[in-house]
Each structure stands twice: as structure tokens, then as C-alpha cells.
Structure 1
């Protein structure tokens, strides 16, 4: 899975930065939700730097597993490392806050939360969003099968509590973008690093998937149901 993530996002940093309009919208909502975060922060799954570039949070370290994303992010902030958010290369009590936009679903949520708790200082804050069940409904409808195993809201909140976080606030927002047909949607997913995983990686299976999207001639709505959480230690 992590190899797939590295491959997908290391190929498409330029197109991701241009095409990921819902991710950018989510970043703006997250920044407004977080308010005035002070001190030193860490941006988990920093990507091309939406949170850095759209906010006033300048004393921040970026973390991403994809090398090309890190190279792109470095244009705006030299403080960035290639790392797995499940195994952060930082000492305990290193940061005043942690933020993450549209990234935590790519990792084991429990392991990641444990690492965040470890690197945050006492009274540290953790503000993030994560796609939950009900996301990518049109994609699954076109495929005719359940394809994505997103977490549910109670699971996220319970994990945070078990790891020692207090839930200060949370809400769910449904972000969506309409495409003229299924194939346009598929191209967008491709450019933003979203792999349509199947049980088989054969060329014939890939063609079958493409044909399913091409056969969807009517408008297709891409949606992400996002859980936004403000937590603290």
C-alpha cells in the first residue's frame, strides 16, 4: 500500500497542485477551523503545501512519504522531510501543534495518532481532516462495487480518546465537484494520485475499469465526506 502511495504521488505533484481543488478547499476550511495556532508545528502528509501557503503558520515542518511531493513543498519551505507519519523522525515534545489535510487516510490511523501524541508538547493541539465513509460514492457506483474502506466518525473519535487526546470540536463537511462524464472524473482522480485499486493489476482489468468510466456518459459528482477535528492533549 505504501509503495503504491509513494508511486502515485511521486508522479503527479505538478498535476496534483493544479487539479486538487477539493483538497485545497478542505485546507481553507481547516485553516479557518484551527484559528490562530502558535509555536512550532508539523504538517503531516504535507503534499505540495496547501496548508503552508494558505495560512500564516510559517514555523512549520512538512512531512510526506512521497519524494516528489517533498521536492515541490521545498520550493516554499526548506523544513521538510521524507518520512512515514506512522514513524516520525522527531524527538518527544518537539511541536506545539500538528495539522493534516486530506492525508491521514493513507496511513494506519491508530499508529499515526500515537506518533503525533509522542511528538507534541504538553497541551499540544492536533487539527486535521480525514475522509470518512460516504466518500467517493459516484466512483463506487460506476465500478459497481465497494472499493474504498474509509473509517467512520465514531472510530476516529474513539481512537483519539484512547490515545489520550481531548476532542475540543468536530464537524463533517461534504465537498463535491461535478464532472461532465465518468471519464473526466477518472482523469481527475488519476491526476490527483487516487488509484482505483482492483484485485488484479492485469492490463485487461485496467482496460475494463477505464471502459466502465467511459461508458458513464452523464455527469458524475466526485464527493468527499470529510471529518474535521480539533483535539488537544
Structure 2
């Protein structure tokens, strides 16, 4: 099951994520500037180790599917709970704002946005960023096939508009350069990102490893990231 694999992947990488998730820190910095004016009680969705909380220092409840990630988050903010963005353990109209950094692409976006809208108060604000179509081109290049399914910007905007009035949206590309494919693969594991569309047998894992190992030139990791600030529709 995909959610179990996501939880396991991030739980395995919780010790390295804080220092290795460079792009996720960069997006958190931008998102924090967008959310700087938010007040009241908030919810930090897919809170991870707490990049957003470190920047914002607002009253927020962190929610994450990985218990190991939450252990680190709670050392910064004790207000945290294990939970699934698609099925939030809160009553209706609880939060003044919601934020989410680099997490929604792991979920069914329609279900997640419906839930986020449900727990937000009237006129609640939602600020988020997520990688979209055009990300991880190097992985597709090395493997010779698409291994990740990202929403397009158009798809995200259409889904968001069903529950929110968009205040601002823009996209930005982020890049990291690695010496070779193996160094890139290590980074993907260290940041919990080495999760494909389906579970893999040991044989398939070995074949993937060999393809990355044999990529003996500069590997540029890219994420095309969409940033959105939106107001809950009445």
C-alpha cells in the first residue's frame, strides 16, 4: 500500500532528512514568507521535521504520517499528531490557517483539499507548495521510463479552485547537482524521495541500482514547484 511505503520511506530517512533535504528547506523559506501574515491557530500538514515551524514560529499543530519524523518535530513543537492529510483527525472549522510544504504530491489532491477546507474556518487561508509535472527529469532519463506521476500546474489550480479562491500562485524550478547517478540515488534515499509508482521486488531494485550506478556523469536533480496562497470558499 502506497501510504505504508511512504511512511516507511520517510521513517527510514528521518535521521538524514533534516540536513539533506536542501530543496525542501528552500521551498519552506519561500512558503514561510507567503504565510508570514497568518494569525490564529494553524495546521502544518505533512510537517516532517519542522522546516516551516522553524521559520514561522506560529501556533500550529503538526500532522505527519511518519512517527519518526514527528519525533524530531515534537522536539521543536510539542503540538503534533500522527495523521493522514486525506483523513484529518479534527472537527470542522477548527483552524484559522493551514500550511503544507512539499507533501501534497504524495496524496490524492481532491480528497486532501476537501479535508483541508473542512477543518479550516470561514475565510481560512491555505498556503502550500508541491512539486508538479516536469520534476525529476533525471530519474526518468536514467531509468528510461517515468517513475513518478506529478500533477500538472493546470490540474492543481483546477482542483484547488473547487474549494478555495486563489490569492496568488507561481512556480519556480529548483536544482541540485550530483557527481554521478549513485550520489543522486543516495540523496533520494536520504530525503525519503526514492518511492516510485509501485512496490518493487528485490530483482527490480537491483536493476534500478545498476542503472544509477552506471550513470557516470553529472546528474542534475530538478523539482518544478508550484506555490499557492488561497482563501477558503464560503
Question: Counterpart of 1:35?
Answer: 36
Question: Counterpart of 1:167?
Answer: 166
1:71 positional shift: 1.1
Question: Counterpart of 2:201?
Answer: 202
- Following superposition of structure 1 onto structure 2, how do residues 114-129 of structure 1 map, counting pairs within 5 Å? 114-129=114-129
- Following superposition of structure 1 onto structure 2, how do residues 28-177 of structure 1 map, counting pairs within 5 Å? 28-57=29-58, 59-163=59-163, 165-177=164-176
Please tell me whether the aligned partners of residues 149 and 197 of structure 2 are also in contact (alpha carbons under 8 angstroms): no
Cα distance in 2 for residues equivalent to 1:72 and 1:217: 35
Please tell me whether the aligned partners of residues 36 and 56 of structure 2 are also in contact (alpha carbons under 8 angstroms): no
Q: Deviations over 1:36-64 (max 9, x none)?
A: 1111100000000000012232x000000
Cα distance in 2 for residues equivalent to 1:10 and 1:97: 27
**TM-score between both structures, scaled by the size of structure 2:** 0.96
Cα distance in 2 for residues equivalent to 1:200 and 1:175: 27
1:200 positional shift: 6.5
Q: Secondary structure at the match of 1:46?
A: coil
What is the number of residues matched between the two proteins? 231
Q: Which runs of 5+ in 2 are unaligned?
A: none
Cα distance in 2 for residues equivalent to 1:51 and 1:24: 8
Q: Deviations over 1:127-181 (max 9, x none)?
A: 0001100000011100110111100111111111122x10100000101100011
1:14 positional shift: 1.3
- Following superposition of structure 1 onto structure 2, how do residues 11-30 of structure 1 map, counting pairs within 5 Å? 11-30=12-31
Q: Which runs of 5+ in 1 are unaligned?
A: none
Q: Relative to 1, partners in 2 of residues 1:138 and 1:162: Cα closer, same or farther, differing over 3 Å?
A: same
Q: Relative to 1, partners in 2 of residues 1:97 and 1:174: Cα closer, same or farther, differing over 3 Å?
A: same
Q: Over the residues paired in the alignment, what is the CA RMSD in angstroms?
A: 1.2
Question: Counterpart of 1:188?
Answer: 187
1:197 positional shift: 2.7
Question: Counterpart of 2:226?
Answer: 227
Q: Secondary structure at the match of 1:127?
A: strand
**TM-score between both structures, scaled by the size of structure 1:** 0.96
